[in-house]
């Protein structure tokens, strides 16, 4: 029994030591291992064993993409305007060994490098260009940081300008400029609307006048056609009346001819014709001598009749 207790202590210590030598590296991580103070290897995902008292896990590295939001940095533009710009850097560790031994404080190094790169880029741009060239600035910064951080085992994926804060006086001037621009656009839109309205009204009046003229033209054509039709019908009626009168005269002559009248009857008809010609309107009528004799004969006959 006295030897059992030391054996159990030694067994427990051996188990603790063995368990401390077994390491599991999770997904998206890597471990830099040193042996006797020098770089030995880099553990990837899985289970690993190290030699006790000899090997040491120097640094655990996260391989996922990381985001660092740096505070605003004062920068000066080409036209001597001082503004505050804060940036967001998206980076990923590609080489754990270089990341562990390349630079003492990688995040601080990236922050300082971002500030100096930003000052260099903004120093070549004026205020208006700075405010309208975010994408260009982001691209230039990403390219510069990616090259500078490559020896540290870091790849810069994206750089974004989060906020650009110009001085208060500049902000007031920009707001006034924007207000003036909005008022100008409003005035232009109002003028264009009035112009369009005036044009539409004029076109409406023009089309109305054209339609009125067209209607008047059609009405005049219809009136002329109606008058022409009435004139034609009146002329046809007169022609028909004349034709009937001529036909009646012809029929009378034909009947008279068929009756074979003697000279006395013809003279009597002539006398009736003269009487109708006078019709109480003529003041003087010249009667041929033949008809005068016939008229005297007719008067004598009438008087003899009265005496009987």
Answer yes or no: is 179 within a domain.
Answer: no
What does the alpha-carbon distance between residue 222 and residue 228 come to, in Å, rounded to a whole number? 10
Structure tokens belonging to residue 180: 């003036």
222 belongs to a structural domain: yes
**Count of structural domains within the chain:** 4
Instruction: Measure the CA–CA gap between 39 and 50, rounded to whole angstroms.
Output: 13
Give the predicted TM-score (pTM) of the model: 0.55
Residues 284 and 255 in one domain: no
The CB-side HSE value for 60 (13 A sphere, CA atoms) comes to 8
pLDDT of residue 270: 60
How far apart are the C-alpha atoms of 135 and 131, rounded to whole Å? 10
Q: What is the pLDDT along the chain (308 residues), one digit of tens a residue?
A: 556 677 677 777 777 777 778 888 899 899 999 988 889 999 998 888 888 888 888 899 999 999 999 888 889 888 888 889 989 999 999 999 999 998 888 899 999 999 999 999 998 888 888 888 888 899 999 999 999 999 999 999 999 998 888 888 877 877 788 888 888 888 899 899 889 888 998 988 888 889 988 888 898 898 888 888 888 888 888 888 888 888 877 776 677 667 665 665 566 666 565 555 555 555 555 555 554 554 454 444 444 344 44
Query: At 150, which CATH number?
Result: 3.30.479.30
- Nearest Cα residue to 161 out of 108, 121, 105: 121
pLDDT of residue 97: 92
Q: Give 74's strand partners.
A: 84
Instruction: Assess if residue 275 is contained within a domain.
Output: yes
Q: Which of 91, 110, 87, 64 is nearest to 157 (CA)?
A: 91
Q: How far is the C-alpha of 238 from the C-alpha of 220, rounded, in Å? A: 27
Query: Where among 223, 243, 260 does a domain terminate?
Result: 260
d(CA 22, CA 13): 14
Residue-level pLDDT at 304: 39
Task: Name 86's bridge partners.
Answer: 163
Would you state the pLDDT for residue 145? 93
Please tell me the predicted confidence (pLDDT) of residue 87: 92
Q: What pLDDT sits at residue 165?
A: 84
> What was the pLDDT predicted at 272?
61
Give the structural domain span for 216.
186-260
């Amino acid at each position: 029994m006295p030897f059992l207790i030391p054996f159990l202590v030694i067994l427990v210590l051996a188990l603790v030591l063995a368990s401390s030598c077994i390491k599991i590296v999770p997904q998206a991580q890597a471990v830099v291992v040193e042996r006797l103070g020098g770089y030995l290897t880099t553990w990837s995902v899985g289970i690993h064993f190290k030699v006790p008292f000899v090997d040491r896990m120097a640094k655990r590295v996260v391989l996922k993409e990381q985001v660092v939001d740096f505070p605003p940095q004062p920068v000066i533009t080409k036209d001597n305007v001082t503004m505050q710009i804060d940036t967001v850097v998206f980076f990923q560790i590609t080489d754990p060994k270089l990341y562990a031994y390349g630079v003492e404080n990688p995040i601080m190094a990236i922050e300082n490098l971002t500030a100096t790169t930003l000052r260099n880029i903004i120093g070549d741009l004026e205020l208006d260009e700075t405010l309208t060239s975010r994408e260009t600035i982001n691209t230039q910064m990403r390219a510069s940081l990616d090259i500078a951080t490559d020896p540290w085992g870091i790849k810069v994926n994206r750089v974004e300008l989060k906020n650009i804060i110009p001085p208060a006086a500049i902000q007031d001037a920009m707001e006034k400029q924007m207000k003036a621009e909005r008022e100008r656009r409003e005035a232009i839109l109002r003028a264009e609307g009035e112009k369009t309205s005036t044009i539409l009204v004029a076109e409406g009046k023009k089309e109305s006048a054209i339609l009125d003229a067209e209607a008047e033209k059609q009405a005049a054509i219809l009136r002329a056609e109606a008058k022409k039709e009435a004139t034609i019908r009146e002329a046809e009626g007169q022609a028909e009346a004349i034709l009937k009168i001529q036909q009646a005269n012809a029929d009378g002559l034909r009947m008279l001819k068929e009756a074979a009248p003697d000279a006395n009857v013809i003279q009597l008809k002539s006398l009736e014709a003269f009487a109708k010609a006078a019709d109480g309107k003529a003041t003087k009528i010249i009667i041929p001598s033949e008809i005068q004799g016939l008229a005297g004969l007719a008067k004598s006959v009438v008087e003899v009749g009265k005496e009987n």
